Amino acid sequence: MDQAVIFDMDGTLFRTETILERALDETFERLRSEGRWQGATPIDAYRSIMGVPLPIVWETLLPHHETAVREATDGYFLTRLVENIKSGNGALYPGVTELFKRLSGMGYTLFVASNGLIPYLEAIMSHYGLNRWITETYSIEQIDSLDKGNLVAQIVAKYDIQDGFVVGDRLSDILAARANGLVAIGCRFDFSQEEELRQADHIVDVLAEIPDILTTRHVSR
């Protein structure tokens, strides 16, 4: 396969904050109604760990709760995220569809590798019609390790990717690129952190900057 571009989803293509606070508050309201939580919804705590797999989210936000409660909370949160997407409460970052059209026209093969769960990713892909350009979407729940580097490795192996890029906003995306001999493009968006972005090969402030990087950077694994 010629060059490929592997995109993260949350905080890179999808503006997660447009549904995050609503879904999280709905979830913690349920916990409050069950007597399992007191006080405000920990939205800031979630933002600080945005991008990690959901099991780690609930270990962090509900450290003193039983596993069964965390699992039930995870399931309810997922349903609220999906329903908010289907209701049109979410949004893509500006220029996503234009970028996909341009890169597809340039001959790049596009993928998504995300820490999001399959129903969540399917809701986004379907609602915004992104499958027109994305060859395949990979979810972290497809691998036992919960390591994005291993997830990207599956794409690289299946499609025999020789040259390519990983585009994302967090360190896990940058490390996944490095582990697979790909170029890391860091997105300086809502949940990104400067100390993490400094480890990327390139940094963009808007998605429209990506094609110029791709056309000037030749990758050799």
Q: Higher-confidence residue: 145 or 200?
A: 200
| Residues 182, 199: Cα–Cα separation, whole Å | 13
pLDDT recorded at residue 220: 40
Other Cβ atoms closer than 10 A to 77: 23
| Residues 199, 107: Cα–Cα separation, whole Å | 27
What's this model's pTM, rounded to 2 decimal places?
0.90
Average pLDDT over residues 66-79: 95
> 104: part of which helix (H) or strand (E)?
helix 96-105
The chain-wide mean pLDDT, for the chain, equals 93
Q: 131 falls in which pLDDT band (50, 70, 90)?
A: very high
Average pLDDT over residues 129-153: 95
Q: What percent of the chain has pLDDT over 90?
A: 84
